[in-house]
Amino acid sequence: MIRNRVEAAKKAQEAHKQSILKNIEHRLQVARAKGDENLVRQIEAEMRSFG
């Protein structure tokens, strides 16, 4: 039972991480589409620090 909880927690943690990365990638695409180079650099820095 504990093993299942640990596995479930790991899966939830990975899903959360993937969700955050997807959100960051979307924000980066929007910033690029708007041509906001300052924001692009900030989001890229955020992505590097997150990953």
Residue 1 has pLDDT above 80, yes or no: no
As a whole number, mean pLDDT of residues 17-32 equals 97
Matching residue, tokens 């960051």? 24
Tell whether pTM > 0.85.
no
pLDDT of res. 49: 92
Q: Give the list of residues 6+ apart from residue 31 with CB closer than 8 angstroms, or none.
A: 39, 40, 43
